[in-house]
Copies of this chain bind each other. A is one copy, B any other.
Amino acid sequence: MLMVDRLRRIVELLRTHGSLSVAFLAGETGVTEQTIRRDLDRLAAQGQVIRSHGGATPPPSEPGDDCFTARLSQAADAKRRIAMAAVALVRPGEHIMLDAGTTTLAIARLLAGHDRIKVITNSVPVATEMAQRPASDIVLIGGELRVSTLSTVGPMARESFGRLHVQKLFLAASGIDAERGFTNSNLAEAEIKQAMIAAAEEVYAVADGSKLGRVLLYSFAAIEQVKALITTANAPHEALEAIRMRNVDVILV
């Protein structure tokens, strides 16, 4: 096991367990306590962990600085423009699905104004955002809650999506590539996205330009499965062309 892997592992273990002793981490990683101490010193210098006598604790997660809200503020304007283009596609009275993600959250924010639209989602932030407006009609899909994205996954969620049928799905993806299709770094989420795609008549992918040409671990759909991709103009030109060649509309905002 490489040292970087071990460091990552330590951070991960601390995040899930709350706080751990040097001895435990040594046993868990198969190295000496000495080495763990050195690792913790290093991680503490980077602010990744808080060192304490006998062990370490994860860094305090201030409200509004976790990974989710951090991503939220990033490129807020681009996301809003994408969201506006997405909302323009929605007709009154339609049933739509919203994937979990910051771009889809921006869609929810705009959509909250529209009446008579039923929104189905597995994202807790999307649901709470929609609930702000009284006239909304929301179905929240149940399942195991993924803490990092605040969305539900697992068999229960997959099955729930399997029974539903909607006109439009707005799909988020961390990686979009003409060849490899849509990819994601988490298996459970990839499975849910597949279930959502199966439940929708038309699928619209929403993602800022940085996601184009990126390929991640789990692939969950071919590029042809979506009707259109809504993205920003900073996407790599050749990636966009390759997608257009496969009969997917590209909407640039």
> Hey, which bits of chain A sit against chain B, CB under 8 A?
2-5, 15-19, 21, 52-55, 57-58, 61, 115, 122, 124, 127-128, 130-145, 147, 150, 152, 156-157, 160
Pair B147/A2 contact, Cβ less than 8 Å = no
Pair A115/B3 contact, Cβ less than 8 Å = no
Pair A139/B135 contact, Cβ less than 8 Å = no
Contact residue among B15, B58, B134 (Cβ-Cβ distance under 8 Å from A16): B134
Which residues of B sit under 8 angstroms from A144, Cβ to Cβ? 137-140
Bound Cα distance from A136 to B18, whole angstroms: 10
Pair A2/B53 contact, Cβ less than 8 Å = yes
Which residues of B sit under 8 angstroms from A141, Cβ to Cβ? 142
> Knowing that A2-B19, A140-B152, A141-B142 are A-B contacts, what are 18 other residue pairs whose CB atoms are under 8 Å apart, sorted by A's residue number?
A2-B54, A2-B55, A2-B57, A4-B19, A4-B52, A4-B57, A5-B19, A17-B134, A58-B134, A61-B132, A124-B140, A128-B150, A136-B147, A138-B147, A139-B142, A140-B144, A142-B157, A156-B160
> Nearest-CB distance from A131 to chain B (Å)?
5
Bound Cα distance from A134 to B147, whole angstroms: 7
Q: What are the 8 A-B residue pairs with the smallest beta carbon separation, nearest first?
A: A142-B142, A138-B145, A4-B52, A141-B142, A131-B147, A2-B55, A140-B145, A15-B134
Which residues of B sit under 8 angstroms from A5, Cβ to Cβ? 18-19, 57
Instruction: With CB as the reference atom, state the residue of chain B lying closest to A149.
Output: B131
Pair B16/A135 contact, Cβ less than 8 Å = yes
Pair B53/A3 contact, Cβ less than 8 Å = yes
Pair B135/A124 contact, Cβ less than 8 Å = no
Pair A135/B18 contact, Cβ less than 8 Å = yes
Pair A140/B143 contact, Cβ less than 8 Å = yes
- Can you pick out 14 interface pairs between chain A and chain B where the beta carbons lie within 8 Å of each other? A2-B21, A2-B54, A3-B52, A18-B135, A61-B132, A131-B147, A131-B150, A138-B145, A139-B142, A140-B143, A140-B144, A140-B145, A142-B157, A156-B160
> Nearest-CB distance from A164 to chain B (Å)?
9
Bound Cα distance from A229 to B139, whole angstroms: 32
Which residues of B sit under 8 angstroms from A145, Cβ to Cβ? 127, 130-131, 138-140
Bound Cα distance from A135 to B17, whole angstroms: 6
Instruction: With CB as the reference atom, state the residue of chain B lying closest to A15.
Output: B134
Bound Cα distance from A152 to B142, whole angstroms: 9
